[in-house]
Structure formats: C-alpha cells, structure tokens
A and B are shown apart, each in its own frame.
Chain A
Amino acid sequence: MDRALIQAELQTIFHDVLRAPGFVPTPEMETGAHPNWTSIANVEILLSAEELWGFEFSSADIDGVRSFGDLIDAVAAKLG
C-alpha cells in the first residue's frame, strides 16, 4: 500500500482516538505532541491500526515505533 495512503488512514485513526479532528501529525511527532496523545491513546492507535488492516503487531514491530513516521513504516512493513 502506498505510504501516503497509510499516512492518511493513520491520520483518521489519530483524529478518532485523540478526539482531535484538526490534528495533523507529522512524521517526527511522538507521544505527547497532542495533549490527548497519552500512553493509553498510543495503545488504542496501535490496536485501531491492527483492526483496520487485519494484522497484529509483534513486540519487535512496535519496539521501533517512537514517532508517527515510525508507525507509518511499521504498517508499511506489515502490509509488505
């Protein structure tokens, strides 16, 4: 899947989970970049991505996810 498309889908997930429809995450942003982007919200974002694309992250997959850009990479890797 195209990275731009993954980014757009993830942005929708962020809007829903953070209840922040105007929030535009950029690749370098990390947890805390939005006040609602807490560690609990982070779990929901990961789980929402799993549900949307029908895969499951392993601990090794999420180990490298520190930023929004890393998350795009992790999803792209799972989707091959």
Chain B
Amino acid sequence: MPSPPSLADLHPLLAKIPQHSVEQPDVTALLCEGEAISYRDFWARAIDVADRLIGLGLTAGDRVAFDAERLPHTFSNLLGVLIAGGIYVPLGEKAPPARHDAILADSGARFRLTGENCTAIEGEPANGREPAGYILYTSGSTGVPKGVQITLDNLLDYFENVEALYPLAPGERVAQILDLSFDVAGGEMFQAWRAGATLCVVPTRNVLMWPRYFRDLEIVEAKLVPSQVRLAADKNLLKPGSLPRLRQVILGGELVTGAVVRQLRAAAPNATLINFFGPTEATIYISHYPIEADFADHEGVPIGRPLPGQALVIDGDETGELLLGGSQLAPGYWRMPEANAQRFIERDGVRFYRTGDLARFDPEHGFVFLARLDRQVKLKGHRIELDEVEKVIRTHAGSERAYVIVDGDELVCAIQAGLDLEAVEAGARALLPSYSVPRLVPLADFPLNPAGKIDYKRIREIVTG
C-alpha cells in the first residue's frame, strides 16, 4: 500500500507539527468538546487519515470534501488531507444539503470524510497539476457557490509573515471560534499548530458566549469579527477587565469601528488589538494595522499596510478601487475562467486581484477602507451608496447597529430598537437627499452568518416579513 510522504517531503507549512509531536509530545494540540489531544496523538491521527486516503487511491491534487462540524476528528481529518497531498474542501456545518451537493459537484471531490469515515465517491481524478491546499466556497454575488483555491505555498507566505510580526509561544492557548468554511479558521488552526500552541475550540452552539470560554480557558490569542464583539457587549458579556489573559486580538472580516476597539480594550486591558484586512482570494489577511490610537465610536479603523512581500494599490489618484498583489494571491477561482479574467488582472506585468473595495491612502495610517463598490445601487434613477447611508444613520443614531438593504424600490434600514427614530430620520434628512433616506425598522437583535459577520440576507428576510 502506498504510504504518506516522509517527513523530509512534507510541505514546510506542515513540517513543524511533527516536530512538536516529538519535542513536546504531551502538550495539548487541540482542546475540543472536552477532549484534550496531545501533539503526539494529534499527529498520529492525522497520519492515519492520510494513510487511509492514500490507501483508497488518493493522488496529489485530489479534492477531499469533509463535513466541517467542529469536532475533534474534523481537525485531524483536514490535516490528514494535506499530509496526503490532497486539496481539502469543507462542507460548512450550517449549509443546507443542496449547497453541499453543489460544492461536491463543482469541486469534483473524489473522497469524502464524514465523521471518522473515509470513503471514495464519484468524482474527478486529479490531473497531477493541482498543488495541495484548500478550496473554500464563498456565496458569490449570483448565489452560486464560487470556489477560491489556495495553495500551501500561499499559506506558508501568510504564516511566515504573521509569525514574524505577531508570534505565539508553545503551549499558549489560542481560540478557534470560526466556522471551518471561513478562511480565517485556517489562520486560527495553523498559526497555533505551527507555534506548538493549544487550539481551543469554542463550540458552535455556544459561540456567542465566547467571552466566557476565553475567560475560563485563559485564551491568549483570538481572531474576532467586529459583530461578535458588538453582540457580546450588547449582552453584557464583555465585563471590564474580564479577559486579563488575552494579549493579542486580531480583528477582521468587517469594518472595525472605534466602539469595538473601546469595548475590547475595556474587557481585555492587556491585549494588543490589530486590524487585519484581506479577502479569501489573498489568503486569510494581507494587511495589518496595530490599533494604538483612539477612534470615535463610528469611525472606521484603517486597514494599514501590506504584510511583507505583498502589495496594496489604489486604482486611481487619491481614492479608487483597492488592488492586491503579491505571493499570497490565490491561483484563482476553481474552474471559473471568466471570473478569473475579471478579478485577477495584470498591470505592467504584475498580477493583481481587484477587491471591489473603495479605499484611499493615508500617509500616517496606511490604507483606509471606504466602501464596497458592489453596495452602490440605482433606485428610481438615483445612484445610492448603501455604505454612505449606513454611515449617516449610525452617526445620528449614536449606534453602530444600522444596516441598510434594498427591498424592491425601497431603501430599508434595520436599526437598533429603543432609539428615537424620528430624531434619527430628521438627522438623516438633513444630510442625505430624500431618495436615499431609508425607512427605519427597529430590531432587537442582528443575526450573524456562520462567519460571524452581519447576515444581511437574514436581516432582509426579517424586515420584509
């Protein structure tokens, strides 16, 4: 039977994990659902998965889908796929079966890991040219899942950059809070395991109670989405000084505001806060901004400067679409030549990814995110920037919780309940043209999607009944 690659042949992204299994075998690699798995056992389990896949006929570049429920075996499953030279494809734990079917068909997965079972399925064999890594499916603006392919080389560059700037120490406790179909989850896992740290999984069913887990598990490092911080603050879970062990918090995935920074600083007074920015297409995060200054509650925190060897460029004079370049750029979308041609472009012989984000450069703070270009709509002949409308409403409401959607030919804003809506509307009318003043609908809670971000789709369903 073929065997997994020898340690000498392992990709450098993975090579530190077996080292830890020898040098610190009893240190916990994974704490999940009450089970503590040592580096020795974790590596052995991943090797077993790799063995079984190779035994079933996996060759380099084969796609392997796995059920991404965050249970102990899931983590050794995905590591096993990479050891075997495969490409892992997570099937999100909250996604409906129809989406799983679409992902299985599009990826051409030949193997599926369900629980601890590993089976060969109807799929397409690898062509020998695809490097190991993962394919993550994003929603795509058309609603059709769009696969972003990321290689181990992309990941290695990202981790070497981040480890040099924001290192972790062996045995430190690192939070794993995000859905595995979200790319930042890869950042949580491999940064911890490469450092010999302990990855502590906050279960999905209790993910909104993350401050309790962080406090009780003495979490030192975490990656959070601003909406998760807001929700915890809303529910009074972020008590002042309650997270003294937290020393590093990476924020990203959404606009980080001054209010989020203030709330986190109060709860975690010893933590360095860093705003990271980057789409899946540029491998987890591509820019960073250590947050040292104070920002007004509704002010957006800059996205800062590129990680070493990467590039952020404004396509325009002072303000324009943000282009990304460098070694972290994905090979492209999986089997989508048109989308690749549209989004991955060449300028003066250099490859860039068009983000669809409007940004400007500030000499003091670096790059500043302004708005999503695809949140520009045309209603009754008027061009309206939804991000701009949200910004005005938030300023007048004195609350960050204002989210604007389009319902037919009407603008609707879901806004935090309990505010003086007449005053907010009057304030908006003073600044916005009448056609861009939305109807205000108070909401007590704002739903989050599996990535921990505000779920605009669900908000639309709620406010439109």
A interface, CB within 8 angstroms of B: 31, 38-44, 46-47, 57-60, 62-63, 65-66
Contact = CB atoms under 8 A, between A and B. Distances in A.
Contact of B205 (A31, A57, A58): A31
B447 A62 contact: no
B217 A63 contact: no
A62 B231 contact: no
Nearest to A66: B205
Contact of A40 (B33, B203, B208): B208
B371 interface: no
Given A47-B235, A58-B216, A60-B216, A39 B208 contact: yes
Contacts of B207: 39
B235 A62 contact: no
Nearest to B33: A63
Interface string B238-279: 000000000000000000000000000000000000000000
B203 A63 contact: yes
Interface in B320-373: none
A37 to B, nearest CB: 12
Contacts of A46: 209
B34 interface: yes
Contacts of B235: 43-44, 47
A40 B447 contact: yes
Interface residues of B, number: 21
B103 to A, nearest CB: 22
Contacts of A43: 208-209, 231, 235, 237
A40 B232 CA distance: 10
Interface string B167-208: 000000000000000000000000000000000001101111
A62 B208 contact: no
A57 B33 contact: no
Contacts of B205: 31, 39, 42, 65-66
B213 interface: yes
The 9 tightest CB contacts between A and B, nearest first, are A59-B216, A59-B213, A43-B208, A40-B445, A59-B212, A62-B206, A58-B216, A43-B235, A39-B208
A4 to B, nearest CB: 25
Interface string B445-461: 10110000000000000
A58 B209 CA distance: 10
Nearest to A64: B34
Contacts of B237: 43, 47
Given A57-B212, A59-B202, 11 more contacts: A38-B445, A40-B208, A40-B448, A43-B208, A43-B231, A43-B237, A44-B235, A59-B215, A59-B216, A60-B216, A66-B205
13 contacts: A31-B205, A38-B447, A39-B205, A40-B208, A41-B445, A42-B208, A43-B208, A57-B212, A58-B212, A59-B216, A62-B209, A65-B205, A66-B205
A31 B94 CA distance: 13
Nearest to B445: A40
Contacts of A31: 205
A34 B11 CA distance: 47
B209 A59 contact: yes
Nearest to B206: A62
Interface string B430-465: 000000000000000101100000000000000000
Contacts of A47: 235-237
B88 to A, nearest CB: 26
Nearest to B203: A63
Nearest to A62: B206
Contacts of A63: 33-34, 203, 206
Nearest to B200: A59
Nearest to B208: A43
